[in-house]
Amino acid sequence: MDKWPLVDEVEKFEKKRIAYINLRENIIVKLGESDLQRLLEICRPHLPADLGSNINDVRTLFKELEKKNRLGADHVGVLKRILNETRNEDLLKEVEEFERNRKDEDNADRERVETETKRQGETSESVEPHTPSQTGAFLQKKRVHTAIRLGSYNVTIRPSSDGVPLMCRTK
């Protein structure tokens, strides 16, 4: 039995989230509390003015940056700046590798969707039915599945059992 595309998306998201959490925890452990004041100075532009005195450890600092969407799996710029300024080359390389892997995965997904869309476009015929039931009958007869991309959504139009086109949307 085939898995739903949404399950694949959730699995990819979870892998990326776990990789980010592991990276973040590794950085927290290696930075330690001795650099906290320096880290607070580096991150001050990204934090509310009254919050600095409430941060007692690196983990809390990172949690606050995550709440403000300044730090996360898709936002590692602050981490790179911290590691540059603390001259921690090994951790900086880890962050850059994480970022590169994430971008490579995103590009591979985009190319896969474009390839599928092109392949499906090449197999469909160019006919303009006039009513929804004619469209459905045409799709049912030809077993045509059309996939298009609207913004961040993939839309698939396929025949249903009653002859009316069925549209499925996935993110």
Domain ranges of the chain: 5-110, 124-170
Tokens found for residue 11: 């699995």
What's the fold here for domain 5-110?
Death Domain, Fas (1.10.533)
Please report the pLDDT score of residue 126 as a whole number. 47
- As a whole number of angstroms, the distance between CA 76 and CA 65 comes to 11
Helices marked H in the chain: 5-31, 36-43, 58-67, 77-85, 89-123, 132-142
Element (H, E) at 33: none
The model's pTM is: 0.60
**Which portions of the chain are predicted below pLDDT 70?**
1-5, 51-53, 122-171
What digits encode the pLDDT tens for the residues 33-47?
Answer: 777 888 888 888 888
Element (H, E) at 124: none
The count of residues in the chain is: 171
Please report the pLDDT score of residue 18 as a whole number. 92
Query: Quick check: helix, strand or coil at residue 160?
Result: coil
Q: At what angle do helices 89-123 and 5-31 cross, to 10 degrees?
A: 170
